[in-house]
Structure 1
């Protein structure tokens, strides 16, 4: 069974949602048979690549609220993160264009390190004080810390076209599936779950999608057949 998760590094609920989903997956009886793939979704693809700034001021402008209200919202998210055992900086974080990060995540997928890189990017954005966005050297350091080779990371970042089509394809597919925000989870292309739902909701979706997979072939045995060890001989009177 495959679970696809559309996310953005800027999204705090993607950070929380990943942890809640993984809690459910850990308890799932068929965990070893579940493939998880992370898909790209930019919350603000129009941001210039070199633009960054304080996230609280950005939230206040975006939603038309005061910075005090935005800060209070951040503290609320921080409390949710703490309940999950996650570190979350409620002030001092930045925001920015995440396109290059998504390109690197597709590269990481091709070498089997996508999940490790996503976790590293989340930690760098939400749990570490050093700014992440609009800083190539910081991004390289985070990727290398996740186990990617520095020369390969720099090669991807130096080529604006590398994995760009993959990112755009993910975003187009999200639109076709009706996803207008993230995180957005799709279970075996049967069920969609929107938002950082409780682990119990993800557990239910896993179980239901697993149960409703294509039915296995029902075999009727008992007839004569041949196999690697030879043929069954009919009984003689």
Structure 2
């Protein structure tokens, strides 16, 4: 069985959703027979390659909030991430165009190292003080994932390398009706949208394996959307 996951490295719910999916997959009896493929979805495709900004400032501007309110928004997402055992920094992170990252993820898939690079990129973006929008950081991450340094540099230098693959993924997401990420497609018959709880993923895998005619499972879950906006949990009193 194949599971395809559309995501963007800039999306916190993709970071959280990947961890939850992996927990759900670990509880699935046929997990060794599941192929996972990561596909491209840019949250901010209109942003130029070198246009980066601090995440907190970007959130304040996008949602019309003060910087303190934006920091509180980040802290709520961080709390959710930490509940899944993930490290999440609320300060010092950048936001920018992720096209080059997606191109490298396609190279990594061709070399059998896609999941390794994705994990390293998520960790760098959300847990460490390394900007994934710095080409030299991308080279370092790719080499850590097991890719050849010169091949990585050649891909980054050639803006057309794997560009068609990224665009094809994005067209396919639109054809499938995906307006936000993470978006999970199981055997091209069933979709799960958002960072659902692990048990929802396990149930979806079980139903897809059984070959049943199935309907969407689970309530709406937090996600990031094609206009670059990400849902933000509301503070409790």
Normalized against structure 1, the TM-score is what? Answer: 0.88
| Secondary structure in structure 2 of the residue aligned to 1:24 | helix
What is the distance in 2 between the residues matched to 1:75 and 1:38?
27
Unaligned stretches of 5+ residues in structure 1: 215-237
* Per-residue CA distance 1:88-113 (angstroms, 9 max, x = gap): 00111101110000000001001110
What is the distance in 2 between the residues matched to 1:120 and 1:167?
19
Aligned to 1:155: 154
What is the distance in 2 between the residues matched to 1:64 and 1:211?
47
- Once the two structures are overlaid, the 10-residue window that deviates more, 60-69 or 204-213, is 60-69
What is the distance in 1 between the residues matched to 2:108 and 2:168?
17
| Secondary structure in structure 2 of the residue aligned to 1:147 | coil
CA RMSD after TM alignment: 1.2
Aligned to 2:235: none
Aligned to 2:230: none
Aligned to 1:145: 144
Aligned to 2:86: 86
What is the distance in 2 between the residues matched to 1:4 and 1:67?
36
What is the distance in 1 between the residues matched to 2:83 and 2:75?
12
Verify: 1:108 aligned to 2:121, yes or no. no
**Taking structure 1 as reference, are residues 88 and 30 closer, same or farther at Cα in structure 2, changes over 3 Å only?**
same
Q: After superposition, where does 1:66-77 map in structure 2 within 5 Å? A: 66-77=66-77
Q: After superposition, where does 1:86-235 map in structure 2 within 5 Å? A: 86-133=86-133, 135-212=134-211
What is the distance in 1 between the residues matched to 2:67 and 2:208?
42
Aligned to 2:16: 16
Q: Cα distance, 1:213 vs. partner?
A: 6.8
Q: In the comparison of the two structures, how many residue pairs are matched?
A: 213
| Secondary structure in structure 1 of the residue aligned to 2:180 | coil
Aligned to 2:41: 41
* Per-residue CA distance 1:141-168 (angstroms, 9 max, x = gap): 1111111110111111111111000000
What is the distance in 2 between the residues matched to 1:72 and 1:61?
14
What is the distance in 1 between the residues matched to 2:81 and 2:13?
9
Aligned to 1:227: none
What is the distance in 2 between the residues matched to 1:79 and 1:56?
16
* Per-residue CA distance 1:42-75 (angstroms, 9 max, x = gap): 0000111011110011011112222222111111
| Secondary structure in structure 2 of the residue aligned to 1:132 | coil
What is the distance in 2 between the residues matched to 1:162 and 1:49?
15
Unaligned stretches of 5+ residues in structure 2: 214-237
* Per-residue CA distance 1:10-56 (angstroms, 9 max, x = gap): 00000000000000111111011100000000000011101111001
What is the distance in 2 between the residues matched to 1:33 and 1:130?
35
